[in-house]
Amino acid sequence: MLILDTGQFIERGRLWWGTEGNCQSCPVAWCEQDSGDATPEEIRQVLLAEHGPARLRLTEPDASAVPVLRALREVHGLSLTQARAMAEELKTTGLVGTLVEMELVAARLRHHSVKTTVETSSS
């Protein structure tokens, strides 16, 4: 039997992910941790399946585009065109991802005085 522990966390304003595993019937075990622009998709899918998605919304949909674009570009390293598309999604339907991913973006938006809320299925 394989035991796997997977997670994401924020440290010093950066998204980190980690996974640990061990075999209950043999001495094999491992631990892997990293940060970067994105968590590996297989880890994201495990977290989304276990905890459900979170949705980030603007509290004030008419917020100035400049701080929103700045925050999105800082967090995701986006081009201006990509940031505009993401800002439009944020303004209309909200952004969806893991809770940690959405809290990271929310923190950066709040840093730029943009009010947000993060909703989960249990909210």
pLDDT in tens, 49-100: 999 999 999 998 788 999 999 999 999 889 999 999 999 999 999 999 999 9
Residues 7 and 30 in one domain: yes
Structure tokens at 40: 């590996």
Residues 47 and 59 in one domain: no
Residues 100 and 76 in one domain: yes
- Rg of the chain on CA atoms, in Å: 16
CATH number at residue 110: 3.30.1390
Residues 42 and 62 in one domain: no
Residues 90 and 105 in one domain: yes
Residues 59 and 47 in one domain: no
Q: pLDDT tens digits for 96-113? A: 999 999 999 999 999 999
C-alpha 73: how far from its chain's center? 14
Stated pTM of the model: 0.85
C-alpha 117: how far from its chain's center? 14
Domain count, the chain: 2
**pLDDT at residue 3, rounded to an integer:** 80
Residues 7 and 20 in one domain: yes
Range of the domain at 69: 54-120
Strands in 116-120's sheet, in edge-to-edge order, are 95-97, 54-58, 116-120
